[in-house]
Chains A and B, each alone.
Chain A
């Protein structure tokens, strides 16, 4: 069945009430039955929940084949925990038929590709998928399609019982002996632990994996001992160098700066740019640089930002310390400046992924967002964005909070160069729709700005401010005039991944790519 973004969704996926994407806010006002975990009672006072090894923790939680294990990705490409746990489960306990439900996975998890090829890991549910795992999943090595969700879609699916977590493994930079944990104070600090919070509340069993045991009570705790079954101390949970970069630097690339300046101009032209406005930006070159130009407009008009959310990095912390932002609410930290600031700088708070972006709760932060500035791998003439599949059709990205912030915000601005190498960023049809075009409002490229025709109010704002803009079709033609018109990718029938919209409907599927034959 064709969905609202024109994608053909195979009928075999439309069972158990699963629907195709119907457009923004389709689920508004409907009810969700929340799932509840079956958890063990610890009535008898315990001095400690420490166990010797991961294998012991797995046994203590009744690990068996066929289970779903969850993980969070605050340790990013420095994470050791996913590989450690899966190794213990598969090689020490001999388990198979396992499903990994992670908030994201990266190239740090290349070894899991082997377990997929061996048939030990049979299910992947994640936001990001890259590296070798992206390749083996794209090659159709999983018996069931991978499920790709946004950061808001994941807590929705967990709370609604679409994902039942048997054991949640929580990588904790510090923990006490009963499992109160925090993202700071240890040797592998990650700052916010927002993506792990829903897991801890909805998993049957919760295991804390830490490399820094601290005195009880470890307060204020991001994940609380009341949800924890066992605590394992390991040598290292991750490589600190890859967990948080030294400092996210603002790009010096003149093309990035030009686009960033145009982003700020667009923002400043709208009625939402007033004292107390709210803002989120990505950490890509031009998105992050937008902070710099926005600050100039704020100074000029003598207004302050009310609050900022998201993945947080140094430049936003700077604005907070300068008093130019009222509050920063943080689901993940990208650099050491942000890690050192959370819960330390006044008005820098932590939040859960559900609080950040879940479309099925009663009001996530994204719903109050005025502006979001995001990147894209591709954007098509319907303003649909792809941030998941490469131009070769292979999984190598993550929707992350992109669809959530785009849908919730009043103005969603995509900033991207028109072409990258020989790839047209603005194109006829994106490979995979990860953010639907009805949530995307303005496109800023190095060759011009386009406004979604669904937003005549913003067209007027730009016109009144004298900001030139063109149709997105013109930008697409410009891109093709530089790189040539691409051939369509050739797919097989087999579906290797299902892309869920944030509300749980099916936005798109990724099929197996047909091996390329130059003479075919």
Chain B
């Protein structure tokens, strides 16, 4: 999917994550902050990158502020931000396809 415009998903509540995405210049640039960085930073980054790969996003700038979200929450927030950024969040979301 192509990131067409800036979009965001999620909140800064405890156990959530806020994902902001904007068009990139041919690669994935990830800026990550997390309240559980020391123990889970590596896993959070892996989850975000896997989710982007699954959605076929290859060019984007992401800023993620994580407040101790579980992996399922992180995936949902990244997916939502991506779909919003290409105006695809209103209809025809590929439930069970790219979104699992």
Q: Would you call A9 an interface residue if the criterion is a C-beta within 8 Å of the partner chain's C-beta atoms?
A: no
- Closest CB-CB distance, A161 to chain B, in whole Å? 39
Tally chain B residues at the interface, Cβ within 8 Å: 18
The answer on a CB contact under 8 Å between B68 and A489 is no
Contact A484–B71 (Cβ < 8 Å): yes
Segment at the interface with A among B30-38, B51-59, B80-88, B89-97: B30-38
Residues B36 and A518 in contact, CB atoms below 8 Å apart:
no
In B12-47, the 8 Å CB interface with A consists of 14-15, 32, 35-43, 45
Contacts of B35 on A, CB cut-off 8 Å?
A: 421
Could you tell me if B43 and A484 are in contact, using CB atoms closer than 8 angstroms? yes
Judging by beta carbons under 8 Å apart, are A489 and B45 in contact? no
Among residues of A, the one whose C-beta sits closest to the C-beta of B30 is A518
Q: Does A226 contact B (CB under 8 A)?
A: no
Chain A: CB-nearest residue to B45 = A518
Q: Nearest-CB distance from B61 to chain A (Å)?
A: 16
A420-432 vs B, CB cutoff 8 Å, 1 = contact: the mask equals: 1111000000000
Q: How large is the interface on A (under 10, 10 to 19, 20 to 34, 35 or more residues)?
A: 10 to 19
Indicate which residue in B37, B38, B42, B70 contacts A483 across the interface (CB closer than 8 Å).
Answer: B70
**Nearest-CB distance from B49 to chain A (Å)?**
12
Question: A391-B36, A421-B35 given as contacts; is B70 within 8 A of A487 (CB)?
Answer: no
**Is there an interface contact between B38 and A421, defined as CB atoms closer than 8 Å?**
no
- A421 close to B39 (CB less than 8 A): no
Q: Does A482 count as interface, using CB distance less than 8 angstroms?
A: yes
**Distance in Å from the Cβ of A128 to the closest Cβ of chain B?**
21
CB distance from A68 to the nearest CB of B (A): 34
B68 / chain A contacts, CB cutoff of 8 Å: 420-423
Docked-complex contact A489 and B71, CB < 8 angstroms: no
Question: In residues 404-427 of chain A, which contact B (Cβ within 8 Å)?
Answer: 420-423
- What residues of A have a CB within 8 angstroms of the CB of B43 in the complex? 484, 487
Contacts of B36 in A (CB 8 A): 391-392, 421-423, 486
Contacts of A393 in B (CB 8 A): 38
In contact, A513 and B70 (Cβ under 8 angstroms) = no
Give the residue of B14, B40, B67 whose beta carbon is less than 8 angstroms from that of A487: B40
CB within 8 Å for A489 and B32 given contacts A421-B14, A421-B67, A518-B45: no
Partner of B42, one of A420, A421, A487, A513: A487
Measured CB to CB, the closest approach of chain B to A439, in angstroms, equals 26
A420: nearest chain-B partner, CB-CB: B68
Q: Is A516 a contact of B37 with CB atoms below 8 Å?
A: yes
Interface residue? A345 (CB, 8 A): no
Other-chain residue from A420, A482, A513 in contact with B38 (beta carbon distance below 8 A): A513
Assess the A421–B15 pair: CB atoms within 8 A: yes
State whether A422 touches B41 (Cβ < 8 A). Answer: no
Please measure, in the bound complex, the distance between the C-alpha atom of A482 and the C-alpha atom of B39, giving whole angstroms.
14
B60 at the interface (CB under 8 A from A): no
The listed residue with most A CB atoms (<10 A of its CB), out of B14, B40, B45, is B40
Query: How many angstroms between the C-alpha atoms of A484 and B46 in the bound complex?
Result: 12
Min CB distance, B44 to chain A, in Å? Answer: 9
Are A487 and B45 CB-contacts (below 8 A) given A422-B68, A422-B69, A422-B70? no
The answer to whether A296 has its CB under 8 Å from any CB of chain B is no
Residue of B32, B38, B42, B69 near A391 (CB, 8 A) is B38
Chain B residues with CB under 8 A of A484 = 40, 43, 71
Residues in A neighbouring B15, C-beta threshold 8 A: 421-422
* Cα(A516)–Cα(B44), bound, Å: 14
Nearest CB of chain B from residue A519's CB, rounded to whole Å: 9
User: Using Cβ atoms and an 8 Å threshold, which residues of chain B touch A518?
Assistant: 32, 37, 41-42, 45
Contact present for A489 and B70 (CB under 8 Å): no
- Report if A490 contacts B (CB, 8 A): yes
Query: Please, how many angstroms separate the alpha-carbon atoms of A422 and B47 in the complex?
Result: 14
B binding-site residues for A, Cβ under 8 Å: 14-15, 32, 35-43, 45, 67-71
The 8 closest A-B pairs by CB, nearest first: A421-B68, A486-B39, A422-B68, A421-B15, A392-B38, A422-B36, A518-B41, A516-B38
What are 20 A-B residue pairs whose CB atoms fall within 8 Å in the complex?
Answer: A391-B36, A391-B38, A392-B36, A420-B68, A421-B36, A421-B69, A422-B36, A422-B68, A482-B70, A483-B40, A484-B43, A486-B39, A487-B38, A487-B40, A487-B42, A487-B43, A489-B38, A489-B39, A516-B37, A518-B42
